Structure formats: C-alpha cells, structure tokens
Amino acid sequence: MIAITGASGHLGKATLEFLLAKTNADSLVAIARDPEKVADLASQGIIVRQGDYGDPASLVASLAGVDKVLLISSSVLGEERVRQHTNVINAAKEAGVKHIFYTSAPNPSPSAHFAPAIDHFQTENLLNESGLTYTIFRNNLYLDVLPGLIGDAAQSGKLYYPGGDGKISFVLRTDIAEALATALTSEGHENKVYDIGAPTAWSFGDIARALSQADKSVEYIDIPNTAYEAELVKHLPAPVAKVYAGMAEGIKDNDFNQPDSTLEKLLGHQPVSLESFLKTLALA
C-alpha cells in the first residue's frame, strides 16, 4: 500500500489523483488530520485514515500495512515542524514502512535565508539517519505562488521585488504531483535526492519581459529587502513577513536557481513553463 500524508492539501490531493490512474484505489491510503476534508477521496475508494503530525500514536496506526509513504512537509515552521516530521519518520519505522518519500526545498542548509530550508535540512538529515529507504524531492517554488509575487505588475507596468538578478526554476504543483505519483509506483528512486524544477530558470527581469505586451511594457524594479518586509508587515503577521523576505534573499542569492531535467524525465513530457502558465492567467 502507498500512503500520502497531508492528503487534504493541494499537493497531497493532486498526487492521489495521479496515483488513481496508476494503481487500485484500495491500495492507496489518504492520511489527514481531519478525514472529513478528504471525503471526496473516500468516495473514490481510497482508504482514509486519521493522522496528525503532532500525535505519534495516530501516525503509527495510520501507517499499518503501508509499504511506501509520502511525507508532505508540514505547514508550520521551525522546531515544531522538525518535531512533527520526526514523529512521522519514527512512526514509519515503528509501523514497518519500507520506503519514505519527502517534499523538501532547493539548497537546504542550516544557514539558509529561506527559513523552511533550515527545517528541510534537519529533516533530510533525520531521513539519512533513519535507516529507512528514502527519496527526497527538493521541490522548487510553485508557479502557483507567482501571482502573489507579481501582484498587479501586468496592469501597473511596474514589478517590484527584491530579487536582484537571482533566478528561480519555478514548477507547477500538479507537475510535482504527477512526478511523485510516477516515482511512488516505479523502482530506481531508492536513496535518491532529486532537484525538482523546470529545465530553465527565470529572474524577475525575465518575468517582467514575459509579462510585457506589445502595447505595454512591464519594468522590474529591484527594491531593498527591508522596504519589502516593511510593506509585507502591513498585511501579514511579522513572522510570515520574515519568511517571505528571507525567501527573496534566497532568490537573490540564486538558492532557487536549479534548472534540472529530472522532473521532465519523471513526467515523460515537458513541465508547464512560466510563459504558458502566464498565458493560462491571460497575463502573457
């Protein structure tokens, strides 16, 4: 059996949808802290089990009879996140799971500007030391978050961001889900660490050019990170604003500049590009 944690989230649900096309529903387990959120999956025949990253006993029970589990990284940050991931890894060992897949980020490091990459660094180490067979997907930034980063640039003609010339290998979340479903149902991914990103990378200058139309050009304005964080703090809790500001610093330092062909190989087709994503939003 293959289990997916965080099955109520965007990536978990999408991965299960791709898995349904590859294997029987009754060999799939959707683990959610609130099973009501995945009632649609249950109605398709997928086994639904309750499991909370903060509750080790629920995790061990939810992983009974499971061969492979995809641990979708938690949405909390810092030490709590690592504690939750530790609970899942320990539960997988206790339940006799053979192979654990994990959603990480590019360039995990104890000194990363992007705070979640610090938690990913610690979780990757835990996986290495766990004795379990593992596969790590270092997922690049979702294309799905791009509209939130560019704001009204297409209309105003000004794209403000503190990203310097740093590039990002943006990737569509459903492309990651499809690649995860392929890896979960095939061999050859044992103890591998994959950079999951587009084969090309884009700077914010490139994004401004892609947003530009014949009758309206969009200019990229590289603002100071402090000004960006000061603006974010007007709309978001301070710790969240700090994470976004840290992400921008990481982008400027090219931490997300990881063009790679692994995703395309796993998909067997080209991933959705930034240009075609902008076209679907009618922005290019």
Ligand X SMILES: NC(=O)c1ccc[n+]([C@@H]2O[C@H](COP(=O)([O-])OP(=O)(O)OC[C@H]3O[C@@H](n4cnc5c(N)ncnc54)[C@H](OP(=O)(O)O)[C@@H]3O)[C@@H](O)[C@H]2O)c1
Q: What gap in Å lies between CA 119 and CA 90, rounded to an integer? A: 17
* Residue linked to tokens 């403000």: 160
CB nearer to ligand X: give 84 or 135: 84
State which of positions 95-154 bind ligand X (CB under 6 A).
103, 139, 141-142, 145
How far apart, in Å, are the Cα atoms of 11 and each of 5, 95, 173, 185, 274? 10, 24, 7, 17, 19
CB nearer to ligand X: give 143 or 159: 143
Q: Least Å distance between CB 225 and ligand X?
A: 19
Task: Tally Cβ neighbours within 10 Å of residue 91.
Answer: 24
CB nearer to ligand X: give 211 or 251: 251
Q: What gap in Å lies between CA 238 and CA 115, rounded to an integer? A: 14
- Per DSSP, 25 falls in state G
CB nearer to ligand X: give 36 or 187: 36
Q: What gap in Å lies between CA 121 and CA 114, rounded to an integer? A: 11
CB nearer to ligand X: give 38 or 219: 38
Say whether residue 8 binds ligand X (CB under 6 A): yes
Say whether residue 64 binds ligand X (CB under 6 A): no
Say whether residue 11 binds ligand X (CB under 6 A): yes
Structural Rg of the chain based on CA atoms? 19
Q: What gap in Å lies between CA 139 and CA 271, rounded to an integer? A: 13
Say whether residue 242 binds ligand X (CB under 6 A): no
Tell which one of 84, 169, 203, 254 touches ligand X (CB under 6 A).
84
Contacts with ligand X, 199-238, as mask; x by CB under 6 A: ----------------------------------------
Strand partners, 216: 213
Of the candidate spans 10-18, 61-69, 203-211, 220-228, the one that interacts with ligand X by CB under 6 A turns out to be 10-18
Total chain residues near ligand X (CB under 6 A): 23
Say whether residue 37 binds ligand X (CB under 6 A): yes
Say whether residue 270 binds ligand X (CB under 6 A): no
Would you say how long the chain is, in residues? 284
Q: Least Å distance between CB 87 and ligand X?
A: 9
Based on the number of CB atoms within 10 Å of its own CB, is 234 exposed (0-12), middle (13-18) or buried (19 or more)? exposed
CB nearer to ligand X: give 135 or 139: 139
Residue of 5, 60, 2 whose CA lies nearest to 31: 5
Tell which one of 34, 129, 187, 215 touches ligand X (CB under 6 A).
34
Tell which one of 18, 25, 27, 33 touches ligand X (CB under 6 A).
33
Q: Least Å distance between CB 116 and ligand X?
A: 6
Based on the number of CB atoms within 10 Å of its own CB, is 217 exposed (0-12), middle (13-18) or buried (19 or more)? exposed
Say whether residue 163 binds ligand X (CB under 6 A): no
Residue of 130, 103, 127, 134 whose CA lies nearest to 116: 103
Say whether residue 53 binds ligand X (CB under 6 A): yes
Give contact residues for ligand X (rule: CB under 6 A): 6, 8-12, 33-34, 37, 52-54, 72-75, 84, 103, 139, 141-142, 145, 173
